[in-house]
Amino acid sequence: MIQANGRTLGFTLIELVVALALVGLLALVSVPLYEVASTRMKEAELRGALRTIRSAIDAYKAAADSGAIAKGATESGYPPSLEVLVYGVDAQRDAAARRLVFLRQLPRDPFHPDPATPPAQQWATRSYGSPPDDPQPGADVFDVASRSRRVGSNGVPYREW
């Protein structure tokens, strides 16, 4: 600041340019850090969603194998759709005709671009009969994956997690 006769007149142009450059530099550094933190948060959410859905699929399969729910002789014992995990199935051995529910709600894919899409349509499904190197949907749901074409921070595409 310039002082004349004990009075402050204001900032010089150089002081303003230096202050503006420092603020710009801080913004330039903070934006990439925010993007990395946001991506890592979404990746953690994706890991949790996949773990939740896969645990529910495994619980459905265990219930089908134990006879708690009806399974046809030609069926694999895996759920026919992701919605079945939320809406439930009739318990076979229960006199009160309860429904066995495996998920309270189906998690969303955090990398799906359209939030208006129902969660069941956001996930790519693999049937029991499809090969692991070429997963295809089918009559049942053996596994789920993200439909995102992006690559994770670990170098593995999200659809292969």
Annotated domain spans of the chain: 12-160
d(CA 140, CA 70): 14
CA 3 centroid distance within chain: 59
Between these two residues, 142 and 97, which has the higher pLDDT value?
142
Name the nearest CA neighbour of 110 among 150, 139, 80. Answer: 150
pLDDT at 27: 83
In this structure, what token pair is assigned to residue 4?
């004349």
Q: How many helices (H) and strands (E) does the chain have?
A: 3, 6
Question: What's residue 105's pLDDT?
Answer: 94
Q: C-alpha 88: how far from its chain's center?
A: 22
| Distance between CA atoms of residues 145 and 128, nearest Å | 14
**Res 5 pLDDT > 90:** no
Token pair 């729910």 is found at: 69
Q: Residue 3 has what pLDDT? A: 61
pLDDT at 102: 94
In one-letter notation, the amino acid at residue 120 is A
Q: What is the pLDDT of residue 108?
A: 95
Beta carbons within 8 Å of 22's beta carbon, 6+ residues apart: none
Token code pair at residue 150: 């992006």
Q: What is the pLDDT of residue 68?
A: 87
**Max Cα distance, the chain (Å):** 99
Among the listed residues 118, 116, 113, the one whose alpha carbon sits nearest the alpha carbon of residue 147: 113
